[in-house]
A and B are shown apart, each in its own frame.
Chain A
Amino acid sequence: MEELKKTIDIISNLAILIRTSQVHDINNVAVVNLIERVTGLINNFFRDEKILQIDLVGEFFYANDTRLKYSIEHLLNFDFLSRELKKRNIGTVVFKEKLEAQDIKIFLKAFLSAGFSKDPLKTMLDFLKDLKTITVDKLKRVKEDEAIDMRKVVKKTYFNAVSFSKGIMNKIKAKEAVNIKKAKRIVESMVDLILEEEQLFIGMTVIKDYDEYTYHHSVNVSVLAIALGQRLGLSKKALNELGLAALFHDMGKVEVPLEILNKPTAFTEDEWLIMRKHPQWGVKALLTLKAPDPVLVRSAIVAFEHHLNYNYSGYPKVRTRHEQDLYSRIVTIADQYDAMTSSRVYSRVPLPPDKALSILIDRSGTQVDPLLLKFFINMVGVYPIGSMVLLNTNELGIVYQSNPAFPDRPRIRIIMDSSGKRTDTTVDLTEKDPEGRFIRSIIKTLDYTKYKINLAEYLM
């Protein structure tokens, strides 16, 4: 545990050092002091270990093969370092014993120079070639076949959750006992996979099944809420609680008569009155599911509050305004986003993800929490998964995977080539040509809902 704290401290200070040296000269006293500090921290680490290998894999840092879980105060520093490493295509930095301040200074010079280089990794390797105490290696990309295998696992977990969600709602309707332990286990699997493969899992939420909307929606909201919770820095246990609360948020709908739930036309005033009761029916359903525990209490709160809106303009109308629960505000965003991007009985044509996002931005501070929305937008990216885009190469594609380091450069599944013929390849918009120019860039976003295009074909 002590080692983990030490490494978190080292990475945090390394990020501060790099940021400071981008503003000040390398001989500035502030930079020199920070070099001394980082050197000291690393050498202190070497009292128990011989080597410190920092790896950046996806969005996560690993120190000597152990994933680092850091608290919110380190978030900015870790994010900054992650971006800077990715810019330079560096995925590994290894520090070895007998490290001196001069070595860190050389590393820093190399790092800064690489930032302006067409081939940053080569620049860094050239700088460090005579240095025995620090080495770097390139950013490892997840191999295509590994990604496919992982996609299978994610898909299995996703559909298992949907199947469970369907089962649980049917059981509640039939007043049968519900296995909460199992629900917890399912959400645990989701949390694990979201921590490792956030983008793959978010991709699954784009798959919409009109006939099974309610069950898919519950799982999608749970996935989006967990992913947002992760961005906020919630612990694994808290993510599990949040995921469960999100999974159960619409539990009250089991009481809404099917003829209303499946009504294809606009609701009458009376039907709205019934529909608007589902939050309180959710409380009732959850609290009679089993003897309460902290998870159930939280879930009941979320079930009641998820349509309240940030400014209490939603429903149910309350006599006294108590501050809304953090999880309720997270679920509200996830719920609205998934509902808007889904084809529902009363709104057959879904909104494209980018449009849904811009509507959420319009609702910031009124219907949704502005702070949480900021994190959400950064999570789903400038071009959310499922967005249809035209590239400068005249290729038409679907956003397949976001890239947090380069929000405007996601991975794209090309569906039409530059001559307008059907194709199926995946490209990464961060790829550059030998001159260091990006090969492809997005020039337009399009509304896929206007056409008969099944996103599941490309994202599953």
Chain B
Amino acid sequence: MSEITPIKDFLQMLLKTKKLIRMYPENNPMYIKAINDMYEKFEEVFQDIGNDIVLHIRQYEILHDDKQVYYNPEKTDNLALFFFKDGIRELKFFKGINKEELEGFLKIISLDEKELIDDDIVTLLWEKDFQYIRYVVDESVLTEDEDYELRATQQVLEETSSPDDLLRAYRDAMDAEGVKATQIMPLAETDLKALMQEFEKDSEPKLKKLVHIISEIIYQEYNNKKELEEIIPAIRSVLEYSIKIADFESAIEILKIVKVAAEDKEIPGDIKVLLKKIIEFGGSQTVIKTLGEVIDRVEVEEGPIREYIQQLDRNAITPLIEILGELKNMRARKVIIDSLAILGRRDMQSLVKGLSDERWYVVRNIVYILRLIGDKRAMEYLLKTIRHPDMRVRREVIKTLGEIKAPQAVSTLRDHLNDPDPQIRIATVRALGGIHTEAAKRLLLQRINTKDFLQRGLEEKKEYFEVLSSWKDEEVIEFLVKTLKKNALFNRAKNFENRACAAYALGLIGSKEHLKILKKYADSGNPVFREHVRNAIIRLEASHGRT
């Protein structure tokens, strides 16, 4: 077998592993297997060719022992170019490499360009300080100015030491005072302990410190518009960065500092305007988009996210609605919804714009938020949305109308009692119960009295009677008792269902005086009616005692 074959196989395996590493999360069995397989491949190659694997990197090819083992003329997804572009000219793997180092190396080579914004490959390899992987770098890529060293050397050597001065120094030295050397300071255990404490403190995140510094700068320059204008981009970038790294506490701190300053009487009006722009930026599309990406990806405590959003201005509402439709994480969506419920109170107009969103689930979320806000001013927008093509939105709107107790909605809801979807009809009945006006009651009674009602399913009918029972007034009780007693010649089974619903409702009303009449039907031949009557009796006796 040719000596280059194992290296070619090795590189193919490396490329395959790189893809798998990029594809699967660290806890995935495929990821773990890929690392193990690559490790075995390393062992195999070391057995075949010796104690090290040396690869010479060229722009489009990789050589081993001067023989080509990899070639790719493409500019993308090219292993040779990947190393070459940052100056790596030789890669060396030593026998003894462990899985930890191997995984570290594979993670680095699996990064794509977007992930290499701050560091290049050499920096990442350097930081890892691998024991069994070495590399040779062409440092000439770092040279800014080829001739600088020569010029600078000439410059500093331009003035040579004067022989006369040297002699003078020598003579003076003879008469100078004795040696006064600085005393060396031996390190004690206490110094090392103090140093350890320094390191411990140093491991704390640094962003909060920078936020304090920003606060100092704002206060030092509070009357200097030019300075503040110039520092604002820096503050904005720190704010965005704190969101990016999910340090919401720092972001909140920045907004609080800016708010306090903006409300300070000593700060001139035009500077206040500048400061408020920072808060606006915190709610801008750019920052909110970053926030969405972070909370969708990382487990972050909900409290600080909510607090951050609550610090924002109304301009954040539209971007928040935008990301609401993009978030995949349920928990993250809930946080945004709750936060919008708070921001939305400040600017209903911006919030209801979300009702025109093309995504049905966003519309449903906005309706839900309006329900949380519970402001009757939302009524007119909700009524416009009640005819939304998606049933899930309609149902949410109906539910909301009921919960915000909007009497004007009764006439609109009337139509939905006949909706083809039973869930919509049930939601409408409940909404009418929520509104709880005389008109709502009348509408329900009318519906129950229609021929069509008799044919509805038992569950739907029970909803009507249950909602109706919440009125507990004379008219309703009289109606229920009448229905309970009502015999029919036709559609007897369906009529028994109505009577069962009436018994159920009387049970819910909970009045002791209805026990007597209910007991009359306790042994009815119709099992549905009998069961509901008996359950109502049990309920009443439980609350009033047996008679």
Contact = CB atoms under 8 A, between A and B. Distances in A.
A162 B148 contact: yes
Nearest to B240: A291
A319 interface: yes
A371 interface: yes
Nearest to B180: A445
B184 interface: yes
B2 interface: no
A6 B10 CA distance: 32
Interface stretch (B116-124, B277-285, B504-512): B116-124
Contacts of B241: 291-293, 297
B182 A66 contact: no
Contact of B210 (A233, A300, A451): A300
A460 interface: yes
A453 B172 CA distance: 14
Kindly state the interface size class of chain A when it binds its partner.
Answer: 35 or more
A132 interface: no
Contacts, number: 244
Interface string B127-144: 101010000000100111
Contacts of B217: 280, 283
B209 A181 contact: no
A159 B214 CA distance: 34
Contacts of A102: none
Nearest to A285: B234
A156 to B, nearest CB: 6
Nearest to A442: B179
Nearest to A374: B185
Interface stretch (B36-44, B198-206, B293-301, B399-407): B198-206
Nearest to B131: A66
A236 B129 contact: yes
B169 A76 contact: no
B157 A76 contact: no
Nearest to B177: A444
B24 interface: no
Interface in B175-206: 176-185, 187, 189, 191-192, 194-196, 198-199, 201-202, 206
A174 interface: no
Contact of A181 (B120, B157, B176, B216): B120
Contacts of A375: 187
A396 B169 contact: yes
Contacts of B176: 390, 444, 446
Contacts of B159: 452, 454
A416 B142 CA distance: 40
Given A207-B156, A232-B195, A454-B157, A291 B216 contact: no
A304 B167 CA distance: 46
A301 to B, nearest CB: 5
B26 interface: no
A433 interface: no
B162 A452 contact: yes
A377 B182 contact: yes
A381 B185 CA distance: 10
Nearest to B181: A382
A46 interface: no
A383 B181 contact: yes
Contacts of B201: 323, 326
A451 B169 contact: yes
Contacts of B178: 443-444
B173 A446 contact: yes
A163 B148 contact: yes
A284 interface: yes
A285 to B, nearest CB: 9
A408 B221 CA distance: 50
A381 B183 CA distance: 9
B149 A76 contact: no
Nearest to A180: B118
A453 B187 CA distance: 35
B165 interface: yes
B166 A422 contact: yes
Contact of A284 (B166, B172, B219, B231): B231
B207 A297 contact: yes
Contacts of A186: 142
Nearest to B175: A444
A408 B443 CA distance: 104
Contacts of A110: none
B213 A283 contact: yes
B238 interface: yes
A160 B238 contact: no
B145 A297 contact: no
Contacts of B450: none
Nearest to B126: A188
Contacts of A159: 148-149, 152-153
B294 to A, nearest CB: 15
A7 to B, nearest CB: 12
Given A167-B145, A371-B191, A185 B179 contact: no
B234 A160 contact: no
A212 interface: yes
Contact of A184 (B119, B152, B153, B231): B119
B100 interface: yes
B181 A354 contact: yes
B160 interface: yes
B216 A326 contact: no
A129 interface: no
A407 interface: yes
A150 to B, nearest CB: 15
6 contacts: A4-B131, A79-B187, A167-B144, A208-B156, A358-B182, A388-B169
Interface of A: 1, 4, 66, 69, 72-73, 75-76, 79, 155-156, 159-160, 162-164, 166-167, 180-182, 184-186, 188-189, 207-209, 211-212, 232-233, 236-237, 240, 280, 283-284, 287-288, 291-295, 297-298, 300-301, 304-305, 316-320, 322-323, 325-326, 354, 357-358, 361, 371, 374-375, 377-378, 381-383, 388, 390, 394, 396, 407-408, 415-416, 420, 422, 442-446, 448, 450-454, 456-457, 460
Interface of B: 87, 98, 100, 117-120, 122-123, 126-127, 129, 131, 139, 142-145, 148-149, 152-153, 155-157, 159-163, 165-174, 176-185, 187, 189, 191-192, 194-196, 198-199, 201-202, 206-207, 209-210, 212-217, 219-221, 230-231, 233-234, 237-238, 240-241
Given A452-B162, A454-B159, 16 more contacts: A283-B210, A283-B217, A292-B237, A292-B238, A293-B241, A298-B206, A320-B216, A326-B202, A354-B182, A420-B170, A444-B178, A444-B179, A445-B179, A445-B180, A450-B169, A460-B153
